[in-house]
């Protein structure tokens, strides 16, 4: 008769596991909204700190680059003489809504970096490409294309003319 007993306990075990699963599932259903909310809040907070850190980093990079490369919208750098025109330089970037100024600065830093690699110490005639007219009714997470371009130049040493 021992054989029947083991099948009996097996059946009980199977029942237990399904009960446990049912309880776990109920718990999960109750807890899920809290978990989701917690996750979203946590993510938003992390994104915010990341964003402010990113903005700080970009501002620092921009300040450092400004010491190496002057950027003007005019054809001349005030009080300086252009020794040599090195050629056109451009940089593109993408900005999602809400990150616009940071993305703009990042693109500007990239432009200055490219100019410095060319041996430039200034960018004259800085222009911003006007993106094609935004599509009406596009999604909120709109990608704005940013493009800066100008002319990389080498300046004469101050006092040489």
- How confident is the chain (161 residues) per 10-residue block, as mean pLDDT? 56 72 82 82 81 85 93 95 97 79 90 96 92 54 82 87 48
Would you state the pLDDT for residue 152? 98
Would you state the pLDDT for residue 14? 65
d(CA 45, CA 161): 55
pTM of the model: 0.63
Sheet order of strands, 143-155 included: 70-71, 122-128, 143-155, 82-96
Structure token pair of residue 134? 């935004």
């Amino acid at each position: 008769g021992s054989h029947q007993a083991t099948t009996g306990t097996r059946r009980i075990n199977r029942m237990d596991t399904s009960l446990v699963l049912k309880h776990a599932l109920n718990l999960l259903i109750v807890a899920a909204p809290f978990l989701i909310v917690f996750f979203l809040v946590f993510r938003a907070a992390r994104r915010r700190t990341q964003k402010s850190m990113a903005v700080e980093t970009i501002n620092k990079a921009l300040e450092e680059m400004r010491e190496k490369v002057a950027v003007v919208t005019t054809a001349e750098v005030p009080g300086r003489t252009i020794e040599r025109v090195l050629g056109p330089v451009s940089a593109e970037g993408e900005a999602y809504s809400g990150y616009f100024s940071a993305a703009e600065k990042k693109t500007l830093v990239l432009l200055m970096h490219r100019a410095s690699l060319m041996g430039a110490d200034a960018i004259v005639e800085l222009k911003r490409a006007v993106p094609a007219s935004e599509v009406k009714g596009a999604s909120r997470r709109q990608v704005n294309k940013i493009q800066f371009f100008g002319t990389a130049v080498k300046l004469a040493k101050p006092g040489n003319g």
